[in-house]
Structure 1
């Protein structure tokens, strides 16, 4: 039956699309919500996913297994949205308001160790000077001017080291990575505040 819906949608049948939407909306919403924890953000992401499904409707007839296709699309859209959020303070606040870091289940403890190892690995790829600049700016929350005075650098040099650090972190996040890594990564670095 699903294959018939996909063929109908590929031909522009809006009723078939509504049926598909009704069938999968809640599943995809809960899947996305599991990553972002924010009901509003999850709803927005799921709406965007279904808009993309409609925009790509001509290709649906060739999709053999729609459910896995939809879940991959959902994960990719969520990851893209989280990357975008990393650049917006208002969105960061919305996300972290719903993200619970205090759960202590075995799975979360293992995941937290993996996240910390990921962050430590990223940090170790920085030069010693960039590590110190990054630590002072993010952990000690010092201004570029104060870091420059303490380290005997110019403000421009401090900014350059910070840009190198952020470039390194962003490159590590650009590959295939669990969505939760991004949330924890940016929050631990003090970027989501």
Structure 2
């Protein structure tokens, strides 16, 4: 891979563990993401730390990522990491106005990232055992109560809770 390769070509190579592709993607996207992070957090060390976490996560999840637009994906992931930092550290009380200030103006990036996340969600969902998938689907997609799921599938409420817990472990993102 070289610097003329597209993001998609580099991502495919990255999925196979190519460190050179990772380095190219890092150098290609770092400055723009750093500027965006600085605009949001106003502190260089925090911006650098968040970006390091972002790229480490990209490397660690490289084999399962389904990304169509890497730039949009990275920007949205960075935005979400910064929101989580604010929530975790309680620098500010996040309200709708603050969250809206983190949003992209046109929503195109949001839709692209949403599509990528939906693909990842479906891949993970398909890997779940059938019963676990059914319980999770009824709980999180159809919004059934645990008692309704237990009655529908003729299983105990404790079994429903166990299936939901197991499914959530598969979806857990670090």
Looking at both structures, which has the greater relative contact order when contacts are Cα pairs under 8 Å and sequence separation is at least 6? Answer: 1
TM-score, normalized by length of structure 1?
0.45
TM-score, normalized by length of structure 2?
0.50
Larger Rg: 1
